[in-house]
Amino acid sequence: MTQTEEYDAIVAGAGHNGLTAACYLARAGLRVLVVEKNDWIGGAAVSRSLHEGWTYSNCSYVCSLLRREIVRDLDLPKYGLQVIPYEGGASFTRDGGRFAYYSDADALRREMARLSPRDADAYRHYSRAIMRQCRFIRPFLLRDAPDPTSLRPRDLGELAYLVKKAHGLGRRELGETLRFWTMSIGDFLDDHFENDLIKAHLAGSGIIGTGLGVYSPGTAYVLLHHYMGDIDGGIGAWGFARGGMGAISGALAAAFKDMGGTIRTGAGVERFLVEDGRARGVALSDGAEFRAPVIASNMDVKRTFLEHTDPRDLPDDFRSQVERFKIRGSSAKLNIALDRLPDMPAAPEHASFIRGDLHASESLVELERAYDDWKDGRWSARPYIDMLIPSRIDPTLAPQGAEMMTVFVQYAPYDLYRNGIRSPGNWTGEARRAMADAVLDQIAVLFPDIRERIEHTEIRSPADIEREVGLTEGNIFQGELTFDQLLFNRPVPGYAQYDSPVKGLYLVGSSAHPGGGVMGAPGANAARTILRRETSGKRMKGYAA
């Protein structure tokens, strides 16, 4: 016996974008059901308690991109969301050297001058160039990407906005912008700086989550993508969600339920039900069926259309474009419970950067080598790590005196090479432990006693992230953030406005414009499109800059 219930809209996947879309749809008066395959909600924005007394943000781990318009609109602080900025960071070398990044401009200039007086001054020019690009791109985040081939007034309007903003830059700045969107972060940093360690520190944001090296074209944009967020208007600032990243999903879910929405966990979408080219509902893995005229998929574009949609309901060229969509797993994650703060001999006592992002890569060359390993199907012998100890700031994550450490690891391939075969199946327990060992060696560059401090470690390979979170190949952005997959090309040309060849089936996740990160923008933009196209008279306000 199957149960069938009618809703106005069904959201497949309770990730932060799915929940954001669900909130906006529910607020417009729709009866909305969110279905989630896991027993918990949040997708990649989760807080999990995997070791008694500790809470891990075991997937995404820091917050900046979450649009403040959405937070304010949905009044997420009322539902328990508190975002706390962290300060600075540092990179360490094997011979005991370091570069500390301070949020205080004078302290930063003095620190850079210690390594290179020229770079200290160059930083002003570098950050101006980045901020100009941020100012240009930020207004597009909460707008739909225009369809350049369409003559609909809405598309023409959006296109005119884009052209106007681009024209306003002037010839030289427009040239810079195009260069910036297509160049490598390595080249961009080489343009500005001479010191290897400073460059290595700044390059990290250009490769996080992406299957590209520091000298691969397009990584400058990836850096921008990590800079264009803000905390309370401080552009480029990053922080923690108090209680872990699950606080974001939790607040969205609480807001959604307050608006009368329903969340059903423990069974994911097996199949999108399509009749006469139109979405009609979902069939879940536990046999339940729900019907609705609007289906919003928070899954990435590949999972949505290649795994859960009948191929007969999709045009061949669309399917092959989706197959070609680049969504490569490049990162792994270690979440570590520490019995106390490890010793940091290379830093002075009370150093503020212990509360920031810590790294152990010395040069762009080293980072490029780390990428070479990945291309060959191996994890990097000396991986790039983006490591934080959020319990230094957030008191809710670990027992008093103990600490929680989150370590983002790059690079780690999805299809690991072993004995002549590349396969995600090669991520055995032994392989994961061996990778973790390489990571701990990197951590030991700044925390030599790290291994003695460990109470518990969660190791997540790209294959684990795919299996548990559902992100294809474990790609954290639901698809590479390269220029060929951005704006009106995201995810595929012709379907960049959250829609698909199946009427009523929409994408609301990071595979859609403007892409990945815990941003909420794809979910909010998609909800706006859905309300405009699928309802009469239910509208969501725009966020014209």
Binding site for other proteins (CB under 8 A): 68, 71-72, 76-78, 82-85, 87, 103-104, 231-234, 242, 391-396, 400-401
Q: Tell me how far CA of residue 122 lies from CA of 112, 117, 190, 212, 236, in angstroms.
A: 10, 9, 11, 26, 18
Question: Contact at 8 Å (CB) between 461 and 419?
Answer: no
Least Cα distance to 382 among 366, 397, 400 occurs for 366
Classify the phi-psi angles of 479: left when phi > 0, otherwise alpha if psi is within -120 to 50, otherwise beta.
Answer: left
Which residue lies nearer to other proteins by CB, 355 or 528? 355
Min separation Cβ 205 and other proteins, Å: 21
Of residues 77 and 168, the one with the C-beta less far from other proteins: 77
**DSSP annotation string for 243-272:** T-THHHHHHHHHHHHHTT-EEEES--EEEE
Residue 531: CB minimum distance to other proteins, A: 22
Distance CA 289, CA 5 (A): 7
Q: Token match 């210690």: residue?
A: 114
Smallest gap from residue 77 Cβ to other proteins (A): 5
- 127's tokens: 């950050």
Cα(108)–Cα(134) distance, integer angstroms: 21
Nearer to other proteins, 315 or 395 (CB): 395
Report the nearest approach of other proteins to the CB of residue 117 (Å). Answer: 23
Q: 167, 158, 111: which is closest to 139 by C-alpha?
A: 158
Q: Return the closest-CA partner of residue 81 out of 228, 239, 224.
A: 239
Taking the least distance from each CB to other proteins, the nearer of 124 and 433 is 124
Q: Which of 491, 145, 481 is nearest to 322 (CA)?
A: 491
* Closer residue to other proteins in complex, CB, 83/207: 83
CA distance 210 to 231: 24
Element (H, E) at 342: none
Contact 42, 15 (CB under 8 A): yes
Nearer Cβ to other proteins, position 231 or 486?
A: 231
Tokens representing 308 are 């859960």
Nearest distance in Å: CB 195, other proteins: 26
CB of 403 to other proteins, least distance (A): 10
Q: How far is the CB of 22 from other proteins (least distance, A)?
A: 20
Q: Alpha-carbon distance 482 to 184, whole Å? A: 11
Residue 232 or 430: the one with the smaller Cβ distance to other proteins is 232
Tokens representing 487?
Answer: 């704006």
Rounded to a whole number of angstroms, the minimum distance from the CB of residue 334 to other proteins is 23
Nearer to other proteins, 75 or 317 (CB): 75
Tokens of 18: 């799915």
Q: Which is nearer to other proteins, 79 or 483 (CB)?
A: 79
Provide the minimum distance between the beta carbon of 391 and other proteins in the complex, in angstroms, as a whole number. Answer: 8
Q: How far apart are CB 112 and other proteins at their closest, in Å?
A: 19
| Angstrom distance (rounded) from CA 230 to CA 64 | 5
- Beta carbon of residue 103, minimum distance to other proteins (angstroms, whole number): 8
Instruction: Check the CA dihedral 440-442-448-453 and report its sign.
Output: negative
The nearer residue to other proteins, 29 or 85, going by C-beta atoms, is: 85
Amino acid at 138: R
List, in sequence order, every residue forming a beta bridge with 230; answer none if it has no partner: 235
Nearer to other proteins, 81 or 202 (CB): 81
| Backbone region of residue 541 per phi and psi (left: phi > 0; alpha: psi in -120 to 50; beta: other values) | beta
Length of the chain: 545
